[in-house]
Amino acid sequence: MARSVIDVSGLPTYAFGSRVTPWWGTFSFCLLEGTGFALGIGGYLYLAVTNKDWAKDAVPLSLLWSALFTLVLVVSALPNFLIKRAAMRESLRSVRLLLLIMSAIGLVLIGLRIMEFSALPVRWSDNAYGSFVWLLLGLHGVHVLTDVADTLVLAVLMFTRHGTGKRFSDAEDNAFYWYFVVLSWLPLYAVLYWLPRL
Amino acid sequence: MSQAVEERHETRDTDLGDEELRARLSKTWGTARGLIGILSTVDHKIIGIRYAVTAFVFLLAGGIMAIIMRLQLARPDSHFVDAELYNQLFTMHGTTMMFLFGVPVGEAFAVYLLPLMVGTRNIAFPRLNAFSYYVYLFGGLMLWGAFALSIRPDVGWFSYVPLANLNFTPGKGPDYWAQMITFTEVAALAVSVEIVVTVLKQRAPGMTLDRIPLFVWTMLVHSFIIIFAMPAIMLASSMLIMERLVGTQFFNPDAGGDPLLWQHLFWFFGHPEVYIIFLPGTAFVSAIVATFSRRPVFGYLPMVLSLIAIGFLSFGLWVHHMFVTGLPEIGAAFFTASSMAIAIPNGVQIFCWIATLWDGKPVLKTPLIFVLGFFFIFVAGGLSGVMLASVPIDTQVHDTYFVVAHFHYVLIGGTVFPLVAAVYYWFPKVTGRLMDERLGKWQFVLAFTGFNVTFFPMHLLGLHGMPRRVYTYPAEMGWGGLNLLASTGALLFFASFLLMLYNMIASARSGALAGDNPWGADTLEWATSSPPQPQNFDRIPCVTSGSPLWDKGDDKAVVGGLKVDERELLVTSVTEARPDIREESPAPSIWPFLAAFATAVAFIGSIYTPWAVTWGSPVVAIVLVAWFWPKTIEENV
């Protein structure tokens, strides 16, 4: 049987962005986790609208730790952008340095979130409002924690003999997910801290 | 960034003849022997079979529960089982059928077939696939293990609060139920992500979006529904377990909560769930109708658009499960309209299949016969569904056997009949042998008769006022005759599955040899050997039409230039499927099994103490790092 052949031997073994499968995997996880956040906010608003006892006598959440957290988180988008760029250029020196910076920022953010929890004026068991505050902050906190852990492991990885080739694509993918962590916080921040003040 | 220059010395598929290539690829992509090898495999076919076998075992378990319930209801004032056990039985029956059978069995077929159909060597993220199977298995074993130890949920498959609250249901039954949800949803979400990525990025060159088999389109839509629906139930079940374990107040109206929040979150998942279970059935039907009509399915574009419409509309129906909770009238009207609207794309699909059969030359083999049974039963269930979408009718028959009849017509008609068809259809691909046709036809007679004798009388019982979830009824109600009839039908229906089990075992041993393509089908899974080699295809095919195996002409183009001694597969562009990257597919690894085990210990521990999460997470994290850490320098290039 005659058989023509499409030669793929010259194709690369890795690439960046939406060309590779991990990007689509991360994107799918962002979709499903984003749905989780949206439903969490939906539940919070549903109770706020339907239950007249919602957040009765509640002290508004303090703006201090959350403002610092939001500020650091938004600023982190810059080194995150630089990592993405450095990874695509496969510049090992820059990627290493920026991963260390992002790891440090991540640890600061975890510290700020712990301060936030310890300063909360309401406990999860006080009322449904308290339950939701803890749930939403916790849910987002888990995302911060997961990606910071991932960043730390990646930072270590890039200082070993494995810091080459496809691992730059991993670094870029990790930066992509961090954008989701940043973006998913903003509506939560608005709903938890500013909506009750309107 | 290309490494092509350095790698020139490595063996490529173009360097080898057919036989040597097959042997070498089979070694590269194979699964090692021994316990560690078995637990480390990442072959989508092996994992797909495990998923299917496990799901069928749960089907049998759920079916036995149904039979016990039918024996109890066969006579009025019966005391075969007591009320407490009856509550546990219907809870376990519903939970098992929905979460441990209905969803996983659809995933099972996709995990096995989809990479073959799109012409690739393994599913995307194969280690995640292995992990998902073990998580599903542990979740099912946990629920049934607890049941065996008399820790039994008895609050229905929907676990409504406040009944499921600690005050009304002490003990650990609902906690095991809630954690089983978390297990199975983690598994389903993982598989969905794999399916999305496999379909979008790993299709054979030339398989443009309008050449994707309808089976594959259906599973893509199915996966997106899971991605958007399952987070709702994970959130809800986590809230329930926190309510019971650490005293949150989400559902407590005295503390600003609302029990209806549970219902909203549950049904926001629960209604798409119907389509999550039903869509794989339509995927099977599309494949089988085309093959046995000897022509592609009529109306490819309306079929795909209908699937997408079903995907969207399935999220606009959930409140029709809550019509008797006192909704505002405008809300009820909206959800009535949307519930009726979804009948339209479903109807389009049915008409397209009928047109295909009409225009084709139907060959009445067992798979097609079961599909014909599906048409009859599913349409009947759809019609009672349109009736239930109307608020006055729903209010009248809510919580009666009319609803039980309706959803068994939809779910068994829509899923189980196509599933049996699918078993007969793909059995020869998986085992290399055909199932017995004569037994298949007898099975159909038993199943179709048994099903209708069981469930049709339930419509009447419901209209006569018989409520659901009662363990017995007094003789004066006059429901005895129809119930006896339904129970007789249930035994016939159950017997049809035993016949299938016998047919499968006997045919696997001594059925007629199938060859590569026993039905003369058109999709790529039939282009390889039965059963397929570990590498699926010796040379990746190129596709030039929607029915590649029905193409005329001798020139079947293939891909050349992939490495032979490493697990390399071809990544293509999303819309046009142009070759783009030679990506390395992860090798077998024991870490996914260990990660699933660590996750299971943490989840089960969290039923007893929240600290299990605190102590379990670092362990899971360490195992995950071990999973992802590159083992050789070659993995990085």
List, for residues B489-532, the tens digit of each pLDDT value.
999 999 999 999 999 999 999 999 999 999 999 999 999 999 99
pLDDT at B4 over 80: no
Phi-psi region of B327 (alpha: psi -120 to 50; beta: other; left: phi over 0): beta
**What's the CA gap between A108 and A115, in Å, rounded?**
11
List, for residues A95-137, the tens digit of each pLDDT value.
999 999 999 999 999 999 999 999 999 999 999 999 999 999 9
Q: Which residues of A touch B221 (CB under 8 A)?
A: none
Q: Which residues of A touch B196 (CB under 8 A)?
A: 24, 28
Would you call B580 and A19 a contact, using CB atoms and an 8 Å cutoff?
yes
- Which residues are CB-neighbours of B564 under 8 A, at least 6 positions away? B10, B11, B12, B13, B15, B16, B21, B24, B25, B28
**What's the CA gap between B370 and B422, in Å, rounded?**
9
Helix (H) or strand (E) holding B584: strand B579-584
Collapsing DSSP to helix, strand or coil, B513 comes out as: strand
> Could you tell me the pLDDT band of residue B168, with boundaries at 50, 70 and 90?
very high
Question: Are B462 and B449 a contacting pair, CB within 8 Å?
Answer: no
Report the pLDDT averaged over residues B36-64: 97
**What's the CA gap between B114 and B276, in Å, rounded?**
16
Residue with tokens 């093959």: B291
Mean pLDDT computed over every residue of chain B: 94
Q: At what angle do helices A64-75 and A92-119 cross, to 10 degrees?
A: 170
Exposure class string for B274-307: b at 16+ Cβ within 10 A, else e: bbbbbbbbbbbbbbbbbbbbbbbbbbbeebbebb
Q: Which residues of A touch B625 (CB under 8 A)?
A: 153
- Cis peptide upstream of residue B531 (ω within 30 degrees of 0): yes
Question: Are B559 and A9 a contacting pair, CB within 8 Å?
Answer: no
List, for residues B109-160, the tens digit of each pLDDT value.
999 999 999 999 999 999 999 999 999 999 999 999 999 999 999 999 999 9
Which of B14, B235, B637 lies closest to A36 in CB terms? Answer: B235
Q: Which residues of A touch B200 (CB under 8 A)?
A: 24
A5 bridge partner residues = B558
Q: At what angle do helices B214-245 and B259-293 cross, to 10 degrees?
A: 160
Question: Are B395 and B389 a contacting pair, CB within 8 Å?
Answer: no
> What pLDDT, on the 0 to 100 scale, is given for residue A69?
97
pLDDT at B3 over 60: no
> What pLDDT, on the 0 to 100 scale, is given for residue B77?
96
> What pLDDT, on the 0 to 100 scale, is given for residue A120?
95
Question: Are B323 and B338 a contacting pair, CB within 8 Å?
Answer: no
> Could you tell me the pLDDT band of residue B5, with boundaries at 50, 70 and 90?
very low
**What's the CA gap between B433 and B192, in Å, rounded?**
30
> What pLDDT, on the 0 to 100 scale, is given for residue A135?
97
Measured in Å, how far apart are chain B's first and last C-alpha atoms? Answer: 9
Q: Which residues of B touch A4 (CB under 8 A)?
A: 555, 557-558
Instruction: Classify strands B558-560 and A5-7 as parallel, antiparallel or unpaired.
Output: parallel
Q: Which residues of B touch A18 (CB under 8 A)?
A: 574
CB atoms within 10 A of CB B501: 12
Which of B125, B230, B234 lies closest to A25 in CB terms? Answer: B125
pLDDT at B106 over 60: yes
> What pLDDT, on the 0 to 100 scale, is given for residue B7?
47
Q: Please tell me which residue, B230 or B637, carries the higher pLDDT value.
A: B230
CB atoms within 10 A of CB A176: 19
Would you call A127 and B205 a contact, using CB atoms and an 8 Å cutoff?
no
Return phi, psi of residue B552, to 5°: -80, 165
Would you call B256 and A55 a contact, using CB atoms and an 8 Å cutoff?
yes
Q: Please tell me which residue, B576 or A3, carries the higher pLDDT value.
A: B576
pLDDT at B2 over 60: no
**What's the CA gap between B375 and B83, in Å, rounded?**
37
CA distances from B562 to A13, B3, B39, B559, B579 (A): 10, 13, 28, 8, 11
Which of B255, B264, B542 lies closest to A128 in CB terms? Answer: B255
Residue of B260, B318, B327, B571 for testing the chain A interface, max A β-carbons within 10 Å: B571
pLDDT at A150 over 50: yes
The proportion of chain B whose per-residue pLDDT surpasses 90, expressed as a percent, equals 90
Report the pLDDT averaged over residues B398-425: 97
**What's the CA gap between A48 and B500, in Å, rounded?**
53
Mean pLDDT computed over every residue of chain A: 94
**What's the CA gap between B386 and B311, in Å, rounded?**
18
> Could you tell me the pLDDT band of residue B9, with boundaries at 50, 70 and 90?
low
CA distances from A67 to A71, A102, A112 (A): 6, 19, 10
Helix (H) or strand (E) holding B581: strand B579-584
List, for residues B536-594, the tens digit of each pLDDT value.
999 999 999 999 999 887 678 999 999 999 999 999 999 999 999 999 999 999 999 99
List, for residues B415-426, the tens digit of each pLDDT value.
999 999 999 999
**What's the CA gap between B192 and B227, in Å, rounded?**
7
Q: How many residues does chain A have?
A: 198
Lowest mean pLDDT of A172-181, B239-248, B550-559, name the range: B550-559
Structure tokens at B275: 């389509």
Report the pLDDT averaged over residues A31-50: 96
Q: Report how many Cβ contacts below 8 Å link chain A to chain B.
A: 206
Question: Are B533 and B25 a contacting pair, CB within 8 Å?
Answer: yes
* B20, amino acid identity: E
CA B297-B292-B217 angle, 5° bins: 35
The proportion of chain B whose per-residue pLDDT surpasses 70, expressed as a percent, equals 98
Nearest CA in chain B to A139: B235
Return phi, psi of residue B584, to 5°: -85, 130
Measured in Å, how far apart are chain A's first and last C-alpha atoms? Answer: 75
Residue of B225, B241, B249 for testing the chain A interface, max A β-carbons within 10 Å: B249
Sign for the pseudo-dihedral over CA of B82, B85, B87, B90: negative
- Which residues are CB-neighbours of B50 under 8 A, at least 6 positions away? B133, B137
> Could you tell me the pLDDT band of residue B59, with boundaries at 50, 70 and 90?
very high
Report the pLDDT averaged over residues B238-262: 95
Residue of A1, A16, A21, A156 for testing the chain B interface, max B β-carbons within 10 Å: A21
List, for residues B276-322, the tens digit of each pLDDT value.
999 999 999 999 999 999 999 999 999 999 999 999 999 988 888 88
Listed residue (B613, B262, B242, B174) closest to A125, CA to CA = B242
Question: Are B407 and B460 a contacting pair, CB within 8 Å?
Answer: no
Residue with tokens 């129809």: B482
Would you call A35 and B231 a contact, using CB atoms and an 8 Å cutoff?
yes
**What's the CA gap between B599 and B80, in Å, rounded?**
39
List, for residues B435-457, the tens digit of each pLDDT value.
999 999 999 999 999 999 999 99
Would you call A135 and B570 a contact, using CB atoms and an 8 Å cutoff?
no
ipTM score of the complex? 0.95
Question: Are B394 and B340 a contacting pair, CB within 8 Å?
Answer: no
Helix (H) or strand (E) holding B273: helix B259-293
List, for residues B330-362, the tens digit of each pLDDT value.
888 888 888 888 889 999 999 999 999 999 999
pLDDT at A2 over 70: no
Return phi, psi of residue B213, to 5°: -55, 145
Question: Are B584 and B567 a contacting pair, CB within 8 Å?
Answer: yes
Listed residue (B2, B200, B45, B188) closest to B104, CA to CA = B188
Would you call A128 and B256 a contact, using CB atoms and an 8 Å cutoff?
yes
Q: Which residues of A touch B120 (CB under 8 A)?
A: none
Closest Cα of chain B to A82: distance in Å? 20
**What's the CA gap between B279 and B414, in Å, rounded?**
8
Listed residue (B119, B300, B305, B332) closest to B210, CA to CA = B300
Question: Are B191 and B111 a contacting pair, CB within 8 Å?
Answer: yes
Residue with tokens 């035993």: B498
**What's the CA gap between B148 and A153, in Å, rounded?**
42
Question: Are B591 and B127 a contacting pair, CB within 8 Å?
Answer: yes
Question: Are B109 and B53 a contacting pair, CB within 8 Å?
Answer: no
CA distances from A166 to A142, A158, B577 (A): 27, 11, 22
